[in-house]
Amino acid sequence: MTMILKNLLLPFAAAPLLAASQPGALSLPGIPFAPRQYVCQRALKPPAIDGRLDDGVWRRAAWTEAFVDIEGPLKPAPRWRTRVKMAWDDAYFYVAAELEEPDVWARQTTRDSVIFQDNDFEIFIDPDGSTSPYYEFEMNALGTVWDLLLLRPYREGGRVAVNGWDIHGLKRGVAVQGTLNHPGDRDRGWTLEVALPWAALTEVAGRQGAPRPGERWRVNFSRVEWRTRVADGRYEKQKGPDGKPLPEDNWVWSPQGLVDMHYPEMWGFVQFSAAPAGTAEQPADLQPGDHARWALRRIYYAQRNRRAASGTYSATLKDLGLEDLKLPEGWTLRLEGGEAVWSAAALGPRGEMLRIDPLGALKSE
């Protein structure tokens, strides 16, 4: 971990003990825990980052499933298809995306502006699966980017986003299949490529260099899509009766179950493989530790919402409304709580220990 990141995290080091300062009740995902998975294979030759997706690695790499609404099956399917390919080498994590779009437009031209005010494509990365900290990257069809470090999810309140953090060594490219900001025709969409250097990402992973084969990172992708109309020869957002823009659509790779990308526990799993891109390979099944983590996450949700409702925590699953909570075979739960403090840990059959703190950070010990 770099000294910069250590200094940013220092003010929060004691926060888990100050449970009474937490924000209020949480919204909960409305779908079961079933994150999508992808095997990210090796790029034997780096792609040219021009947005065209015509390199050998992209011809061979597999597409993800088509994106769905951020709430998953709770909402209608997206109007246009979005899908992604991934690859890696010792220097970069490569992402390629294809976005069908009949009217390609973008306006933001300043780095670190609020890119999702345009239609955009977003990448979220949590290397160690702890949910704190993690990375966010957004890009529009002009290639303008917003990259930031999130010290913890916004649901925890306080100082969260480090907007001045930049991905040094970032490469990106965009290609438009049609015309940009020209309402007089019908476009096919836009494609993009991003090369994210491991040197910039691994400060959160806790070590330098690329992931090891077999390692899994939590990753998700999002597409923000605004409904528009043409006025005076340019695109503008459609408005509701109140005069405000209609809510944007949010389409994602792995559904969140609620309209909030900042629930990293719902993101997909990307499994890094030593096999070259195009090799037939299936992702590993979810592991017992994944289900143990989800059990601890449910306890965190319940403790937060009990505290908001009654002012106290609890050390019993019954009080938390979690009588149905079960850990994988061989795992045991250690749960403690009182009026102002709580803690929970899951102990595995081979000496594993997972612990979640009152601010939702989940660590392996």
Amino acid making up residue 259: V
Q: How far from 301 is each of 27, 156, 168, 311, CA to CA, in Å?
A: 9, 12, 35, 14
Query: Helix (H, G, I), strand (E, B), or coil: what is residue 236?
Result: strand
Give ∠ CA 183-189-194 in degrees, rounded to 5. Answer: 125
The pLDDT value recorded for residue 203 is 75
Residue 277 neighbours by CB under 8 Å, 6+ apart? 41, 42, 43, 44, 57, 60, 61, 87
The answer to which of 53-67, 88-102, 205-219, 319-333 has the lowest mean pLDDT is 205-219
Low-confidence winner among 21-25, 163-167, 215-219 (lowest mean pLDDT): 21-25
CATH number of 3-11+18-276: 2.60.40.1190
Provide the H-helix boundaries in 34-148.
Answer: 56-60
Query: Distance (Å, rounded) from C-alpha 204 to C-alpha 213?
Result: 18
CB 41 within 8 A of CB 279: yes
Task: State pLDDT tens for residues 218-250.
Answer: 999 999 999 999 999 999 999 999 999 999 999
pLDDT tens across 269-288, in order?
A: 999 999 999 999 999 999 99
pLDDT the model gives residue 262: 98
The pLDDT of residue 206 is 77
Q: Is-contact 51 192, C-beta < 8 A?
A: yes
Q: Domain map of the chain by residue range? A: 3-11+18-276, 288-364
CB 206 within 8 Å of CB 128? yes
The tokens for 212 are 């090891």
For residue range 116-159, list pLDDT tens digits in order: 999 999 999 999 999 999 999 999 999 999 999 999 999 999 88
Cα–Cα dist 327/83, whole Å: 34
Residue percentage of the chain with pLDDT more than 90: 89
Query: Residue 322 to residues 178, 264, 298, 326, 333: CA-CA distances in angstroms?
Result: 52, 22, 8, 9, 13
Q: Which two tokens stand for residue 171?
A: 């490469």
Residue 127's alpha-carbon distances to 134, 306, 313, in angstroms, are 7, 30, 30
CB atoms within 10 A of CB 105: 21
Q: What pLDDT was estimated at residue 14?
A: 32
Instruction: Report the pLDDT value the prediction gives residue 12, as an integer from 0 to 100.
Output: 34
Residue 354 in contact with residue 292, Cβ under 8 Å?
yes
- What are 6-27's pLDDT values in tens digits? 444 433 333 333 333 456 899 9
Residues recorded for the chain: 365
